[in-house]
């Protein structure tokens, strides 16, 4: 029986924990805000695919507490991709056999894990999972579940490839979908182009995607411009065919189809409504820095990064109101 640790049991973590539990794995979940409910009552899933389900993983509050249930074959990182996340799991990576699985948004996330855990398999994943934790220990899941996975780097050895295949088979056994790709990065670039375009714009405007498109004639060209800018960065990084015209048109078709029925809230807009910090660095910041590395001009990304970071900063009053050092000349008068 494979042992799996899920780090970050929010909406995504709960669904993946359920799939792996159903596959027969021994699942331990690190829960924080929902710890008390998950520990005493378990996790309830209300899904368009899996129906109404209830299950009881092994629930712990910290990674350190999880150690008594290891060592782990897979460690799924399902938390938000904030700077420093790779450090938070280090106590659970006790065996070079443990494969670290990144179920997070963003680009360039793998590098931090490779530096900290050079002997471990890194499996990078692209998550398509409309899910919301509507109450502590209760998640609602829509009609899509797809976890595209591949090793990092793409030419990792046979042990890494075998562990990646094993994870895919576990998802299939649990009723999920985790297709394998020889190189996952083109798919990561597609997802980051979509996220970089829609997440900051909806969070900053407080419009869902359909209402954003309704708002002005300039709304749609801006989304196109951001995605094309990300496409230029992807091409400079070695993936010129990742974000095609067809990808952009397909993505815009979704909110356009909802113009009359109501739009969708991207995750950053939901985070803003609930007072949570935003994944700006992983989605926009990393893309911006890659553009700078390769000499690509990225005016849209620079603007989005500055504004979205400021919006996220405004949600953190402890940092916002720290006194700023002053110079004697600040009070000088002409």
Residue 317 pLDDT greater than 90, yes or no: no
Q: How far apart are CA 117 and CA 125, in angstroms?
A: 17
- Give the model confidence (pLDDT) of 236-274 as tens digits: 999 999 999 999 999 999 999 998 888 999 999 999 999
Beta-bridged to residue 125, according to DSSP, are: 103, 149
State mean pLDDT over 68-94: 94
CATH of domain 3-173: 3.40.50.720
- Give the model confidence (pLDDT) of 28-66 as tens digits: 999 988 999 999 999 999 999 999 999 999 999 999 999
Residue 321 pLDDT greater than 90, yes or no: no
Question: 185-319: which CATH number, 1.10.1040.10, 2.60.40.10, 3.50.50.60, 3.30.70.580?
Answer: 1.10.1040.10
Domain(s) of CATH 1.10.1040.10: residues in the chain:
185-319
Among candidate residues 41, 150, 94, 180, the one with its CA nearest the CA of residue 14: 41
- Give the model confidence (pLDDT) of 134-193 as tens digits: 999 999 999 999 999 999 999 999 999 999 999 999 999 999 999 999 999 999 999 999
Domain(s) of CATH 3.40.50.720: residues in the chain:
3-173
pTM, rounded to two decimals: 0.92
Among candidate residues 315, 300, 52, the one with its CA nearest the CA of residue 196: 300
């Amino acid at each position: 029986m494979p042992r799996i640790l899920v780090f970050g049991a929010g909406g995504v973590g709960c669904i993946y924990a359920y799939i792996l539990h159903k596959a027969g794995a021994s699942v331990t979940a690190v829960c924080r805000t929902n710890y008390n409910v998950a520990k005493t009552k378990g996790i309830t899933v209300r899904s368009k695919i899996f129906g109404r389900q209830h299950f009881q993983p092994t629930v712990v509050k910290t990674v350190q507490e999880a150690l008594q249930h290891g060592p782990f074959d897979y460690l799924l990182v399902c938390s938000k991709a904030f700077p420093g996340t790779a450090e938070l799991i280090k106590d659970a990576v006790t065996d070079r056999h443990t494969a670290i699985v990144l179920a997070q948004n963003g680009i360039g996330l793998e590098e931090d894990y490779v530096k900290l855990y050079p002997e471990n398999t890194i499996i990078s994943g692209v998550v398509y999972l409309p899910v919301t934790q509507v109450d502590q220990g209760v998640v609602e899941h829509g009609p899509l579940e797809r976890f595209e996975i591949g090793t990092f780097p793409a030419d990792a050895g046979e042990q890494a490839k075998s562990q990646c295949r094993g994870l895919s088979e576990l998802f299939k056994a649990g009723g999920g979908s985790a297709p394998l790709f020889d190189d996952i990065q083109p798919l990561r670039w597609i997802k980051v182009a979509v996220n970089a375009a829609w997440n900051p714009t909806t969070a900053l405007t407080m419009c869902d995607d359909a209402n954003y498109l309704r708002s002005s004639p300039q709304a749609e060209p801006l989304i196109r411009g951001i995605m094309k800018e990300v496409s230029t960065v992807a091409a400079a990084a070695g993936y010129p065919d990742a974000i095609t015209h067809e990808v952009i048109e397909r993505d815009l078709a979704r909110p356009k189809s909802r113009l009359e029925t109501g739009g969708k809230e991207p995750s950053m807009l939901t985070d803003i409504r609930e007072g949570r910090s935003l994944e700006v660095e992983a989605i926009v910041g990393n893309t911006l820095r890659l553009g700078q590395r390769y000499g690509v001009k990225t005016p849209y990304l620079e603007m989005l990064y500055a504004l979205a970071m400021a919006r996220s900063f405004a949600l953190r009053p402890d940092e916002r109101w720290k006194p700023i050092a002053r110079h004697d000349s600040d009070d000088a008068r002409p």
